[in-house]
A and B are shown apart, each in its own frame.
Chain A
């Protein structure tokens, strides 16, 4: 069997261009495999040839989406790969969104895409229909397990000539796409079997799982701002200098509650960011650019808002699990309610 041609998409970090300082790197292509691509090329050496690697900064891919997409599209048209591989992005939100965008471009060009991703990454939910998303762990520490899984999927994909089968058979995450297949038993019989299992309390697999929409009813609007106590909450990791609670720079296990009653303005002498997922230069220089205390203080003085709550709550939303974030937010909400807060401005980086 002839080897297939792959183009691999990586962010600036895995593409070995640099860290957050290179997050604004526009898309560029390099010949051959880079970083995790080299290891994959090794695992798949009899099957694939990684012809080129497209590298783009996560900041650029998310903030200048149209520009990034049109450049990546041009590269893909020019390189004509048989398959596009993206990531693995693990639970890195911006990287996952970028990989998903690449899958969407690939789908539009009728090219199959394979993306390594953690299921809670928003890039999976947003773009799941455009490619085969292979489940990985939540951080790069699971790279060693992720790469063989991706390689195994590609081998299976080639063996089955582009028809890998259902997500369960081929070990990829559901795409939300329905395909017609032939079953051994007719529908009525299958339905009765499921019903019997359900009555018995036994396990069964629905053939039409209901989508779960976890939405929250919008809370009523504030009627009189001039009487309202407003609190600031952030996932951008703003902490007093020295990070007294030692909130982790990624995968945070805690949040902090900090007094701002004495501050009219945050400065580099008072506050900084603990967040490890974006370039901290701006936030360290002037934390108001993430936690806008100065402006809210002005609005408070002008009487536009009743009061800026004397405490703010902060955590690091960088690869932090949904489960942890839920716990933090529930606790924060209870505290805000007991502190008499009426509305919240939550800022995210």
Chain B
């Protein structure tokens, strides 16, 4: 799905837990997520910390969307 949307010229960032699958399907901008049943959540944390962790992932996703890429790239960490 990532690829077909990007084919139309829209940049897509794929937030996915199983990064090898995302690489195989051909996503160009990839942000690793937390876990399969809660990619952007972490039930081990309290609500505030969980939201902060989710925000960190989204910050990385936004960084990916504002970064030019030539090839597939996994955005592991937020760069400042």
Give chain A's interface residues, CB within 8 Å of chain B: 20, 23, 59, 62-63, 93-94, 97, 122, 125-126, 214-223, 225, 228, 230, 233, 235-236, 278-283, 286, 288-292, 294-296, 298-299, 304-305, 315, 317, 325-326, 328-330, 332-334, 336-337, 341-349
Q: Which residue of A lies closest to B64 (CB)?
A: A221
Interface string of B12-48 (1 = CB under 8 A from A): 1111111011101110110001011111111100000
B55 touches which of A279, A295, A345, A346 (Cβ 8 Å): A295
Q: Quick check: is B1 within 8 A (CB to CB) of the other chain?
A: yes
Tell me which residues across on chain A come within 8 A of B3, comparing CB atoms. 214-216, 329
Tell me which residues across on chain B come within 8 A of A59, comparing CB atoms. 35-37
B14 touches which of A283, A343, A348 (Cβ 8 Å): A348
Interface string of B46-77 (1 = CB under 8 A from A): 00001100110110011001111111000000
Report whether B5 and A332 are in contact in the complex, using a CB–CB cutoff of 8 Å.
yes
Tell me which residues across on chain A come within 8 A of B22, comparing CB atoms. 348
A132–B14 alpha-carbon span in the complex (Å): 31
Report whether A225 and B4 are in contact in the complex, using a CB–CB cutoff of 8 Å.
no
Report whether B1 and A125 are in contact in the complex, using a CB–CB cutoff of 8 Å.
no
Tell me which residues across on chain A come within 8 A of B15, comparing CB atoms. 345-348
Q: Which 9 A-B pairs have the closest CB atoms?
A: A289-B41, A329-B4, A333-B8, A218-B28, A329-B1, A219-B11, A282-B38, A289-B38, A348-B16
Shortest CB–CB separation between residue B19 and chain A, in angstroms?
10
Q: Which residue of B lies closest to A299 (CB)?
A: B58
**Beyond the given A59-B35, A222-B11, A235-B1, could you list 11 further A-B residue pairs with CB under 8 A, ordered by the A residue number?**
A59-B36, A218-B6, A219-B12, A230-B65, A279-B37, A292-B40, A329-B5, A334-B8, A342-B10, A343-B11, A348-B15
Name the interface size band of chain B: 35 or more
A295–B50 alpha-carbon span in the complex (Å): 11
Q: Using A218-B28, A278-B36 as known contacts, say yes or no to A292 and B68 having CB atoms under 8 A apart.
A: no
Q: Using A63-B35, A337-B8 as known contacts, say yes or no to A290 and B17 having CB atoms under 8 A apart.
A: no
A215–B72 alpha-carbon span in the complex (Å): 10
A212–B55 alpha-carbon span in the complex (Å): 37
Shortest CB–CB separation between residue B37 and chain A, in angstroms?
4
Report whether A62 and B11 are in contact in the complex, using a CB–CB cutoff of 8 Å.
no
